[in-house]
């Protein structure tokens, strides 16, 4: 893993995975990750 590409540390010092990392991993872990490319946990728009 490469810092700045696959992850970064937020202002609280916690590791945050990027969208690039999630796409490399290839599946959704269903933990409502901040950069989830599959949109898990994101609010759906009402029409």
Q: If you ran DSSP here, which 8-state letter would residue 45 be given? A: P
pLDDT band at residue 44 under the 50/70/90 scheme? confident
**pLDDT digits 0-9 by tens, 2-41:** 999 999 999 999 999 999 999 999 999 999 999 999 989 8
pTM, full prediction: 0.77
Of 32 and 46, more confident: 32
- 24/14 Cα distance (integer angstroms): 20
**What is the pLDDT at residue 19?**
96
47 neighbors 39 (Cβ within 8 angstroms): no
Q: How distant, in Å, are the alpha carbons of 12, 17, 19, 23, 31 from that of 37?
A: 23, 11, 6, 7, 12
**What is the pLDDT at residue 9?**
98
């Amino acid at each position: 893993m490469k810092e700045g590409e696959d992850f970064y540390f937020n202002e609280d010092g916690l590791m945050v995975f990027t969208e690039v990392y999630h796409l490399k991993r290839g599946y959704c872990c269903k933990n409502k990750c901040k950069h989830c490319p599959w949109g898990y946990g994101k609010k759906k728009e009402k029409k």
